[in-house]
Structure 1
Amino acid sequence: MNDSAAMGTLLSFFRILEDGDSPALQFIGRWAYKIYEKRQTVEEYMMYIHLILAAVFPIFIAAHSSLQQPPSAAKPISDETEEEDDEINVQPMVEGLTPSDAIMFPVTAAFVLGGLYLFIKWMGNADLLNKIMTVYFSVLGVFGIAKLSKDGLDVVTTFVFPDSWSNGAETFYVNSDISRQLTAKFDKSRINVSDEIVVDKTNPLPGYLSTITFSPRITKALWSFRASFKKHWLLRCYIHGVCNAKSKLHLNDMIGFVFGVVAVTYYNTIRKAWWVTNLMAFGFSYGSMQMISPTTFTTGSMVLGGLFIYDVVMVFYTPMMATVATSLEVPIKLVFPGPKRGSMLGLGDVVLPGMMLALALRYDLYLHYLRKQRNPTLGFGDASKIVAKEPFLNPKGLWGDRFWTRNAKKADFGLADGARFPKVYFKAGLAGYVTGMIVTLYVCHAWQHAQPALLYLVPGVLIAFWGTAYFRNEVKLMWEYTEDGVWGWDNQSRGTICPNKESSDDEKEKSSSYFGSVAARAKDKVEEQEKAAKKAASDHAQHLFLFSLSEPKHEASLKKVI
């Protein structure tokens, strides 16, 4: 039976329902017939919903993955044995933007777009350009998909093997070192002061599954399987004069890399399916939003404003944007199948507003710890006070722990506590982004003409941010917020003395001498880093090339900080 015959049969069935005696069946048949008549419109609306969800997905996950310790939080309490074990202080590689980028971004983008347009016109087609760019983006795609897959697998691992879970009455902590589940008590600093092994929970699974008594062989296999996803190795690579890198390597890193290779191979050898193209685009946008920071809301607003003008000019007043976008068959856009020719969305319409939304989420985390600060008085005077801060708790990738401890008592501590904080500005910006996207799609549908998405997204996002700050009387605080420099070196991030404005010069001088200057501490930090660099150079003085993969030196302490 061909498609037309099948549709005819389905239409006849709807008419039978509509002509039946049952009011309910008549109602179903009548609406089913209307949907069938307007099926093309329904398919178009479904495509629009798909587009919005696909645009929001990488923004949401990248923003949460970009979270790090804000200056308003104290350094996390860590186990000394773990620090010795790792020997690696992982710092995120983030490129901060400056106000000059607000000018250079649209200018550079215009030159690149113009160059691509002229090259396509000169060659008569984009075949050669597609081959060159496919190779380039295929290499990047492997690492983009690997990172996206790895973080996704980490989230899945937290659902299957959480580090803590609660049944509402008690919170249980899973300890791989002794292969048992524990109940524990913590002091106000979140230090484990006592723990007790739970006798009836012998496996590492949460919830009802924890009460199942498996055979010793299966139980041991479950603990080993859990440990394989939780442990890490130390990867070192040294090439004289080229690189000296250290990194932590997890099992999910290797699985994610395999996923990346398989996806890119499929894309280049079998079929450039829309879902593979979108997967690679997700990887690019996911990594980009974590590696680029607008630094301040002012700089980010200027960058979006400049690219807003660029997008309008290139779409409405030149044929360059439409020609290049439709000619290039590389994964730098999201593609959506649908009626007619379907639809597409450039990654710039995702990444550029997305980096501002990621900044907003980090700002929400900053405000969360800022409002938890306290100012206890020191013994040498009431005017001088030190900022007492809450220790930073890692908020990334703990979706499973959040799920399993959602019913935990407030007095119980858990790893997922760091992921629970108000997200006012992020939610406002996300609402503005979705609103702008809906307006874009409405105008496209009404005018039947391509629209520059930033024309509607930029006002939606910026009005949401600054409007929220205005109504919360936080415009000044938002204006002054910055991620410039090294986090943890400034006055706020170290919890140093914050003298009262009415304090005398003598008291301020006493406070300064008591704690030392921030500049001196920053200098000490630089000297420590220089010493570490010299030590690393001396360690490899006898090597031209070194590649190693080793296990940690020490095992984690049982009484660890959570």
Structure 2
Amino acid sequence: METDTNELGLYMAYGAVLTMAVIPIYAGSLASVKGMKRPTNAPKQPASDNPLDDSDDEDDTVLESLSSGDAYLFPVIGSAVLFSMYLAFRYLDKEYINYILTIYFSVMGCAAVTKAFLMVARKTLPMCLLKHVAKYKVTLSKKSKNISHISFTVIHGVLLLASIGLTAYYSYTKNWIASNIFGLSFSINAIQLLSLDSFKTGIILLSGLFVYDIFWVFYTPVMVSVATNFDAPIKLLWPRNIIEYVTYFIQNHSLLAESKFTMLGLGDIVIPGIFVALCLRFDRHMSWKRNPVGPFRTTNFPKPYFIANLTAYIFGLALTMFVMHVYKAAQPALLYLSPACILSSLITAAVRGELKEYFAFTTEDEKEKDKKKNKEEIDDKVKEVELFEQEQQKDSMKENNDTESVEVEEEDDNVAESTGSENTRTTANSRRRK
């Protein structure tokens, strides 16, 4: 009976972790559409009546893009950070390291949780209540020129206080539920704010981290060691036997002292998540290209790439858990997630006959692309001028060397002539003496 309970609890843990992984990807991807650059032929959306909206100007929210150069460096930098953390935990006092990490993630987490709470409030609070909420605005200006501004309401203040309270509770107890709230908030914000500039960049990033994950999990103890010692909200946790956990809490009115957890790192959510979000933005791009009417920043459009990629992510994560359950060993999730996300998007593009548009798609602004192109053209011209000047210098040096050689030869001939004349005079004088 106990074995059956443990088995059921473990399946529930897998389902809970899978659900918690999908929620931030879905929510963050939909939120990322709001950060897309509005096309020139799209009408500007009127200011929202919701006082909880961050900005009055829709063009203020533009995503931070990762380029292919960033994608190439990501596994290298990640490996350096991971190995540094491994050495720190091995040779330094883990308690003090976790104190520092707790302080850092508490500060960062407070802002992330506040923003996540705000997203939930926008979707759940009815407008009949929000219309009575006053909105305040603070503007920073210099010489009558506005530099930046921030808008807030009483609800913002309440959510901030709730986040501070949750942060204090987590810092004191390290409760796994509070840790999951922080982890989900980090994931949603990262997927919403980070953007891949093209599918090429996404494929490079996922391929590099595919190798990165396999190496550090299968060939070294580094990844597992850091994950188990790193006491910070960078992973999602769920008790391996939630039935036993809840039963113990009801009977003893306290938490189970030693409970084993199923865990999933936030990297296995955020990295594939930003690729899934890219697929959703590509769906919006293609739908607007076919039918450029209505508001641009909406979520009401066909989503074939997003649905295919999110489904592939769920399948890849489920396969990870299945293999982990069968072999009773930790698995690098990106070993399954990276191919699932890449292949699903490529197959969808091939089936729809959109491979050309797939590889040509970029999130860069047209003005930025023109600036980049002009800069590259200027750099090429500068290089051409430098090469031309170098060639001119080489030719000039060669001509100088040839001139010097001629002068040296002329001097040698003069010396030879003068020497020959002196020898002739010497011979003539000797004859006269004789």
Q: How big is the shift at 1:366?
A: 1.2
Q: Which residue of 1 aligns with 2:279?
A: 360
Q: Which residue of 2 aligns with 1:266?
A: 169
> Structure 2-normalised TM-score?
0.74
Residue ranges of structure 2 left out of the alignment (5+ in a row): 50-54, 242-258, 375-434
Going from structure 1 to structure 2, the CA distance change for 1:97 and 1:490 (only over 3 Å counts) comes to closer
| Aligned-pair identity (%) | 30
* 1:2-53 Cα shifts (integer Å, max 9, x gaps): xxxxxxxxxxxxxxxxxxxxxxxxxxxxxxxxx8761211111000000100
Q: How big is the shift at 1:298?
A: 1.0
Q: Which residue of 2 aligns with 1:347?
A: 266
Task: Give the paired residue count.
Answer: 347
Q: How big is the shift at 1:255?
A: 2.9
- Partner SS, residue 329 of structure 2: coil
Does residue 1:245 correspond to 2:148, yes or no? yes
- Partner SS, residue 344 of structure 1: strand
> What letter is aligned with 2:229?
S
User: Among 1, 13, 17, which residue is 1:47 paired with?
Assistant: 13
Q: How big is the shift at 1:338?
A: 1.4
Contact 1:134 / 1:330 at 8 angstroms: preserved in 2? yes
Q: Which residue of 2 aligns with 1:560?
A: none
User: Among 130, 149, 173, which residue is 1:226 paired with?
Assistant: 130
Does residue 1:458 correspond to 2:338, yes or no? yes
Does residue 1:369 correspond to 2:369, yes or no? no
- Partner SS, residue 334 of structure 1: strand
Going from structure 1 to structure 2, the CA distance change for 1:327 and 1:238 (only over 3 Å counts) comes to farther
Q: How big is the shift at 1:70?
A: 5.5
> What letter is aligned with 1:296?
S
Q: Which residue of 2 aligns with 1:145?
A: 113
Distance in 1 (alpha carbons) for counterparts of 2:345 and 2:42: 28
Q: How big is the shift at 1:134?
A: 0.7
Distance in 1 (alpha carbons) for counterparts of 2:26 and 2:154: 25
Q: Which residue of 2 aligns with 1:381?
A: none
- Partner SS, residue 228 of structure 1: coil
Going from structure 1 to structure 2, the CA distance change for 1:447 and 1:78 (only over 3 Å counts) comes to closer
More helix by share: 2
Contact 2:38 / 2:296 at 8 angstroms: preserved in 1? no
User: Among 176, 182, 193, which residue is 1:291 paired with?
Assistant: 193
Q: What is the aligned-residue RMSD (CA, Å)?
A: 2.7
Contact 2:86 / 2:226 at 8 angstroms: preserved in 1? yes
Does residue 1:76 correspond to 2:43, yes or no? yes
Contact 2:349 / 2:358 at 8 angstroms: preserved in 1? yes
- Partner SS, residue 131 of structure 2: helix
Going from structure 1 to structure 2, the CA distance change for 1:330 and 1:394 (only over 3 Å counts) comes to same
Q: Which residue of 2 aligns with 1:254?
A: 157
Q: Which residue of 2 aligns with 1:330?
A: 232
Q: How big is the shift at 1:328?
A: 1.0
Distance in 1 (alpha carbons) for counterparts of 2:10 and 2:311: 22
Going from structure 1 to structure 2, the CA distance change for 1:81 and 1:436 (only over 3 Å counts) comes to closer
Q: Which residue of 1 aligns with 2:4?
A: 38
Residue ranges of structure 1 left out of the alignment (5+ in a row): 1-34, 162-203, 205-224, 373-388, 396-418, 492-517, 523-562
Q: Which residue of 2 aligns with 1:538?
A: none
Q: Which residue of 1 aligns with 2:122?
A: 154
Contact 2:116 / 2:188 at 8 angstroms: preserved in 1? yes
Going from structure 1 to structure 2, the CA distance change for 1:334 and 1:80 (only over 3 Å counts) comes to closer
Distance in 1 (alpha carbons) for counterparts of 2:262 and 2:19: 14
* 1:256-307 Cα shifts (integer Å, max 9, x gaps): 22221111011113x2111100100111111111221111011111001101
Contact 1:364 / 1:426 at 8 angstroms: preserved in 2? yes
Contact 2:47 / 2:57 at 8 angstroms: preserved in 1? no
Q: Which residue of 2 aligns with 1:15?
A: none
Does residue 1:63 correspond to 2:32, yes or no? no
User: Among 313, 321, 346, which residue is 2:215 paired with?
Assistant: 313
- Partner SS, residue 420 of structure 1: coil
Q: Which residue of 2 aligns with 1:439?
A: 319
Distance in 2 (alpha carbons) for counterparts of 1:91 and 1:300: 25
Does residue 1:106 correspond to 2:71, yes or no? no
For the pair shown, the structure with the greater C-alpha radius of gyration is: 2
Distance in 2 (alpha carbons) for counterparts of 1:60 and 1:315: 27
Distance in 1 (alpha carbons) for counterparts of 2:160 and 2:59: 20
Distance in 1 (alpha carbons) for counterparts of 2:70 and 2:368: 25
Going from structure 1 to structure 2, the CA distance change for 1:341 and 1:120 (only over 3 Å counts) comes to same
Contact 1:466 / 1:475 at 8 angstroms: preserved in 2? yes
Going from structure 1 to structure 2, the CA distance change for 1:226 and 1:485 (only over 3 Å counts) comes to closer
